Structure 1
C-alpha cells in the first residue's frame, strides 16, 4: 500500500464488504437511474458509460473507497521489478551530477536525492527491440511519465496505461518503442517534490547518454499528474540549458511534448473555477479540494508548503493564476500538444495552460484537442471510442508536422 488516510484494523473485511455493497446494492440502483436519457450526466452518454464513470470514481486508486481503506488493487512501484513474462525492464542508476540550479535547491529543501529506480520498455506492435539496443537512424522514442496524483499507479506494462502507450506509438511511423519510468511515489513524508522529476531526469539521461538518442528525437508524454511532471522536467531542461555552467552537463530539452488532461495547477487558483466543481458529475475524478486529491497535493508539496508556495511555483503549478504568481515563462519550451475534455474537472486549468503557452510560444508551436462529453484521461478509456479516435487522429496530424 502506498497511502492510507485512515488506519483500518480490518482492511480486508471492510474492502470485501464495501465491494459487495457497491456491486450488489448500489450498482443496480445506478443502472435503473440511468435508463432514462434525461437522468444521464451527459445526454450523449450510453447507459454503459454512465455506469463506468460511477464505477471508476469509486474504485479508482484516488476514489472514495481508496480514501477509507487504501487502494483496492495493488500496483508495482519503484522498490522492485515484478518478474512477469514478456516484460522488458531495467534498473536506472542514480544521476546526482544532473541535479543543479533550482532543482537542486528544491531537492535539498525536501531532503531528496537521486535513487536507483526501475523503468520499462514497451514495443510497438511488430517490433521486438532489445532492452539495451542503441538508437537507430531516424528513430523517434517516447519517454512516458505516468499519472496517479503522484501517489498511485505504475509504469508497469500490465498496468493502467498499457492501452494508451501502445496506441500512442501508432501516431508516428518513426516511433518503435516507449520508455516508461517507474518514479518514486510520494507517501507520507517520503519522496515529495522533486523526487519524481529527478527520477524522470535519470530516464531521459539513459536515452541520451546510454542509448545515443538525440534530444530532438525524444517525445515526452504523460497524462494528469504525469502531464505535470512532463512540464516540470521540460522546464528544468530549458532552464539548465540556458545556464553556461550547466549546459554542458544537463541534456537539452526534447523534441516535443504530448500531454493529456494535465494536472497543471496543484495550487488553489482554479479551485473555484466552473469546471472544478461543475464537472464532478461527469468525471471519474473526485473533488481536488477534499479527500485523497487534497491529500496528494499536500504531501507532494511536502516542505515546500501547500498552498502558499505551490500557488507560486511554476514547477508545481504552471497554469496558476494566483495574484502572487507573476509571469510564468514558456519561452524555449519544446513544441507541445495538449488534449483534455471539456467535461472534466481540470478543463479550466488546462485551457489556461494552453493560453499561457501559446502567448509565449506562438500558435504554431502549441497544438491542442478538446473532447466533448468525456471524462478525465478519456484517451485511456476504450469506452469513449469516438473521442479517442478524434484525439489520436489530432495527435497524429500534429506530430506529422514536426
Structure 2
C-alpha cells in the first residue's frame, strides 16, 4: 500500500516538474546546453524524471513470448546447446561454456526478438543481419515499440538495408536468477540462431548495442575470442553510448559529472543496474562488467559513438583509445551535443540529423569492414 501511494506521489510530482520546465526552458539561457532547442531540453528532463520514477518503484518491464502488437515482426528463439565446429573436423562444440556456465541455476531459455523495420520474407534467405541489443541498464526497457527505443533500429535498417533483429534479452530483475550471465546467454542464443538457423555467414553478421546493450556486444566478442573459439567472430561491432564501467566509484561520480545536467542517466539508475546484474560475491572489476581498463586486442572492428553531452562520454572515449592501442580497428564518432544513446532517442529529442549522421557513419564503417 505504501508503494502505491509513493507511486502516485511520484507521478504528481513529476507532472508538476514537467509543467515547470516547460516554462523554465523557454528562455535559451536556462537550457542545460546553449546549443539545445526547447524540445531537446524539455525531453531530456522528462526522460530523466521517467527513469527516476521507474528506479524509485523498481519498475518491472513486461516481458512476454507472445507476439502482441508486433505481430509477425516478433519471433521466439530457442537456445541451441551445440554448434558445428568446422575448424575441428566438423565436431560439435558447446555453445555455452566457461563464464556462461559459472552459475548453474542460470540456464539458457527461449527468448523473444523483434524484426526491424519489417519482418523479412520467409521465402527469401537472408544474406546479412544486424543483431541489436537495446539500452536497459540491465533492468529497464526492451525491443518492442512500446518500450520507446525502436526508432533507432527501424531507421538504421531502413538506411542501411540490413535487416535488424532486436533481442529481448533477460533483464536482471530476480537476484540470483537473472543476473550475469543470463543476458549474455541470450545474446549468444541470438547469434547462434543467425548462424545455424538462418545460415548467415559470420562475416555478414554485425553486432550492435546501446548502453548496456553495448556492454553485451563487448562481452560477446570477449567470450568468443577468449572462451569459445568454436564460435566464429562477427563482421563488426557497433557500440552506441556503451556502458563500460560498473565500478562503484564510477557510478557515484555520474551525478557530479560535468555533463550531469545534459543527460538523463544518473547514479540511482546505474546503481540499480550494477547491483542487479553483478552476481553476489563477484568483483565489479570483472572484465565482463567493466570493459574499461580490461581492453584486449580484437579482430572484430568496432564503431563507437559517444554523445559529447552524456555522462559516459569520458569512459567511452578512453575505452576507444585503449582498444585502438591494443591493436583493434576502432572508429570513434563523437556526436556533438548529444545526450546518452542518441541512436534510438534522436527523433524524440529533436536531434534526428545528429542521430542519422551517426547511423550513416556506422553504415559506411560496416561496408569497409566487409572489404577487409
- TM-score w.r.t. the length of structure 2 is 0.87
CA shift for structure 1 position 260: 0.3
Check conservation: 1:114, 1:198, Cα contact below 8 A.
yes
Check conservation: 1:172, 1:400, Cα contact below 8 A.
no
Distance 1:230 1:18, change over 3 A: same
Counterparts of 1:2-401 in structure 2 under 5 Å? Answer: 9=2, 11=4, 13-23=5-15, 25-59=16-50, 63-71=51-59, 75-77=61-63, 79-84=64-69, 86-96=71-81, 97-104=94-101, 106-108=102-104, 111-123=105-117, 129-130=120-121, 135-136=125-126, 139-173=127-161, 175=162, 177-189=163-175, 190-242=177-229, 247=230, 251-268=231-248, 270-271=250-251, 277-287=257-267, 291-305=268-282, 309-311=283-285, 313-320=286-293, 328-362=294-328, 365-381=329-345, 382=347, 383-401=350-368
CA shift for structure 1 position 171: 4.2
Q: How many residues align?
A: 353
CA shift for structure 1 position 21: 3.7
Question: SS state of the match for residue 278, structure 1?
Answer: coil
CA shift for structure 1 position 14: 4.2
Question: SS state of the match for residue 257, structure 2?
Answer: helix
Q: Distance in 2 between matches of 1:209 and 1:397?
A: 27
Q: Distance in 2 between matches of 1:400 and 1:114?
A: 33
Q: Match for residue 323 of structure 1?
A: none
Check conservation: 2:207, 2:236, Cα contact below 8 A.
yes
Check conservation: 2:255, 2:266, Cα contact below 8 A.
no
- TM-score w.r.t. the length of structure 1 is 0.81
Q: Over aligned residue pairs, what C-alpha RMSD do you find? A: 2.4
Check conservation: 1:93, 1:115, Cα contact below 8 A.
yes
Check conservation: 1:154, 1:182, Cα contact below 8 A.
yes
Check conservation: 1:260, 1:340, Cα contact below 8 A.
yes
Q: Distance in 2 between matches of 1:241 and 1:134?
A: 31
Gaps of 5+ in 2: 82-93
